[in-house]
Amino acid sequence: MYSPRVIISTHNTLEALGMSKLLREAFDIDAHIVDNDFFADTISSAEPDFFFIDQETLVTNLTFFLPRKAKTVVLTSNDKSIDDMTTVNITAHEHDIVNTLNPVLEAHDYHENASNTLSARETEVLRLIASGKINKEIAHDLNISINTVLSHRKNITTKLGIKSVSGLSFYAMMNGIV
Amino acid sequence: MALINRDSKLSDIILNDPLTITVLDRFGISLGVGDKSVDDACREHGIDVKFFTAILNTFINENYFPQEALAQFSVAEIVDYLSKTNSYYEMYVLPNIERHFSFLIAKAPSHNNNLVIMKQFFDEMKNELLQRIDDDRNRWFPNVCSNEKSHTAIANAEPDEEATDSIEDKIDDLINMLVMHLKGDYDHNLGMAVVAAVFSLKKDIKQNNRIRDRILKPISHHRHLTQCNV
């Protein structure tokens, strides 16, 4: 199951540790705590799904977070809202914090990645694989590049858990695709 | 589990991983092992202790692969072990999966044809494996064991598995099909039995392929071969 990548970066160590424990226990998410001073360096590599930060981190990295409002959660010690970002009052009761976070973490579109239904295009590629065509022929038939065919095949294999050509052909037969 | 050594008890080995029974069987050891140690059993059956422990440890621990140690053993020993492994697939594992599969299909309502299609996929994999076993027996193993042949002749005798999807991949696919895509009415106990049987084949083939690809193939490429009489 795909679990969102979460980065926590605050100036208060216990705040970060507490947040990480709550995410693990309530949402089964393993958050990554990042040292504040190195924040900017760490983030550049792989883009996380959520940032949990305190106000100070927000202010010092404003240009970074403003375009990422939808995936930023600001930890505060009052109920004031900040520029339509999600805020969590860390002095609130645990179940209130969970209730605040629940819709945010749920709504995120990472759930789509975990789906194993094929898109129309992927089904089409699968049908051609099952009919014995090689990548070059599939690319020609669908008028797409070989790289696109390869990327469709990779997605098909991830979704179905089947990688051999004959396995895919039998799957297509089972599901009336050929 | 910690690595097996000459003092390990056979009963502990089996209780820790029951699939090892099938490996012990290839060395002529069957159930009813009492409190015999590895050393006792090897002496009794005339087995090289080092070879025995290397094979068992390779089987039990996926990350353990004593490539250098295994390369020290005689080609005859390795070929003998691989031949017995092949017979085990041919005589026991494949018929066992087939039997369970046939029961599963026989008990399912006739409109559930996705089982029949999966069985066809299994048959394809089975025939490929039987073909490989036949090729090992009649071509590759005798060639590896004979020091009369020239290097080119031996290299040509090697099984060519690069061109198509590997047997290992197909077994993985079959398991995933059963686990992820089985639908309709079927007998749940028999369904589980088929998955368990295919799964034990998967584990066995995986370790068997490591010995084939990383020990016997390099030997058949590079080394001056010792005489063997299999």
Give the pLDDT of chain A (178 residues) as one tens digit per residue.
Answer: 467 889 999 999 999 999 999 998 888 888 988 887 666 666 655 678 899 999 988 888 888 888 888 889 999 988 777 777 889 999 999 989 998 898 888 766 554 444 568 888 999 999 999 999 999 999 999 999 998 999 999 999 988 999 999 999 999 998 888 8
Residues of A in contact with B166 (CB under 8 A): 164
Domain boundary among A111, A139, A161: A111
Residues A103 and A139 occupy one common structural domain: no
- For chain A, what is the radius of gyration of the CA atoms? 22
Domain boundary among A67, A83, A111: A111
How far is it, in rounded angstroms, from Cα B2 to Cα B64?
11
Q: How far apart are the first and last CA of chain A?
A: 29
**Nearest Cα to B139, choosing from B222, B225, B220, B223?**
B220
Nearest residue of B to residue A169, measured between CA atoms: B121
Inter-residue contact A138 to A132 (CB < 8 Å) = no
- Scanning A9-80, the segments in alpha helix (DSSP H) are 13-27, 39-43, 55-60, 62-65
Residue B115: closest CA among chain A residues belongs to which residue? A174
Whether residues A107 and A148 share a domain: the answer is no
Which residues does chain A have within 8 Å of residue B114's beta carbon, measured at their own beta carbons? 174
Residues A166 and A148 placed together within one structural domain of the fold: yes
Chain A residues lying within 8 Å of B120, measured CB to CB:
170
Which chain A residues touch B if contact means CB-CB below 8 Å? 116, 160-167, 170-171, 173-174
Check CB contact under 8 Å for A173 and B117.
yes
Do residues A173 and A167 touch, judged by C-beta distance below 8 A?
no
Chain B partners within 8 Å of A165 (Cβ): 165
| Shortest distance, CA A62 to any CA of chain B (angstroms) | 45
Q: If you search the block for the tokens 């605040």, which residue do you land on?
A: A100
pLDDT at A45: 57
How many pairs of residues across A and B have Cβ atoms under 8 Å apart? 46
Angle at A51 between CA A5 and CA A29, to 5 degrees: 35
pLDDT of res. A38? 63
Q: What is the mean pLDDT of each run of 10 residues along chain B (230 residues)?
A: 86 91 89 91 90 88 78 84 92 93 87 85 94 91 69 52 73 92 85 91 89 80 53
Which of the listed residues A111, A135, A154 is the one where a domain comes to its end?
Answer: A111
Judge if A102 and A130 occupy the same domain. Answer: no
Tell if the CB–CB gap between A164 and B114 is shorter than 8 Å.
no
Torsion of CA A117, A120, A121, A127, to 10 degrees: 80
Radius of gyration of chain B (CA): 19
Predicted pLDDT at A117? 82
Q: How far is B123 from chain A (nearest CA, A)?
A: 12
Considering the domain boundaries, does residue A25 fall inside one?
Answer: yes
Residue in A111, A107, A109, A93 with CA at minimum distance from that of residue A22: A93
Minimum CA–CA partner of B183 in chain A: A174
Q: Which among A164, A171, A174 is the nearest to B165, CB-wise?
A: A164
Integer Cα distance of B207 and B211 in angstroms: 7
The residue segments making up the domain with residue A159 are 120-174
Alpha-carbon gap, residue B78 to B146, rounded angstroms: 14
Q: What CATH number did the domain enclosing A158 receive?
A: 1.10.10.10
Q: Does any domain span residue A1?
A: no
DSSP-assigned beta bridge partners for residue A89:
A76
User: Is position A92 within any domain?
Assistant: yes
Q: Does residue A13 share a domain with residue A73?
A: yes
Are A130 and A88 contained in the same domain? no
CA distance B12 to B23: 14
Which of left, alpha, beta for A47 (phi over 0: left; psi -120 to 50: alpha)? Answer: beta
Of B117, B165, B172, the CB nearest to A170: B117
Is residue A161 domain-shared with residue A99, that is, in the same domain?
A: no
Contact by Cβ (8 Å): B144, B79: yes
At A118 the pLDDT is 87
| Contact state of A161 with B173 under an 8 Å Cβ cutoff | yes
All residues at 6 or more sequence positions from A71 whose CB lies less than 8 Å from its CB, including other chains: A48, A49, A50, A51, A108
Q: What 8-state DSSP symbol labels residue A71?
A: G
- Which is nearest to B50 in space by CA: B12, B10, B5? B5
Residue A150 lies in a domain: yes
The shortest CB-CB distance from B170 to any of A160, A164, A174 is to A164
SS3 A25: helix
State which residue of chain A sits closest to B169, comparing Cα positions. Answer: A164
**Do residues A64 and A53 touch, judged by C-beta distance below 8 A?**
no
CB contact under 8 A, B117 and A163: no
Contact A53, A74 (CB under 8 A): yes
- The ranges assigned to domains in chain B are 10-64, 74-222
CA–CA gap between residue B24 and residue B38 (Å, rounded):
10
Residue B123 is encoded by which pair of tokens?
């048959």
Q: Are residues A147 and A88 in the same domain?
A: no
Q: How far is CA B208 from the centre of its chain?
A: 5
Q: Quick check: is A142 in a domain?
A: yes
Residue B164 confidence (pLDDT): 57
CATH of the domain at A44: 3.40.50.2300
Q: How many residues does chain A have?
A: 178
For chain A, the domain total comes to 2
Chain B residues closer than 8 Å to A173 by CB: 117
Closest Cα in chain B, distance from residue A114 (Å):
14
**CA distance readout (Å), A137 to A125, A130, A151, A158:** 11, 13, 15, 22
Helix (H) or strand (E) holding A6: strand A6-9
* pLDDT tens, residue by residue, A151-172: 999 999 988 999 999 999 999 9
Residues A56 and A129 in one domain: no
Contacts of B179 in chain A (CB under 8 A): 161
Give the minimum alpha-carbon distance from A149 to chain B in angstroms, rounded to a whole number: 18
CA dist., res. B81 & res. B71, Å (int): 14
The shortest C-alpha distance from B91 to chain A (Å) reads 25
**Residue A166: inside a domain:** yes
Question: Which residue of chain A comes nearest to B113, CA vs CA?
Answer: A174
A95 and A128 co-located in one domain: no
Half-sphere exposure (CA, 13 Å, Cβ side) for B159? Answer: 24
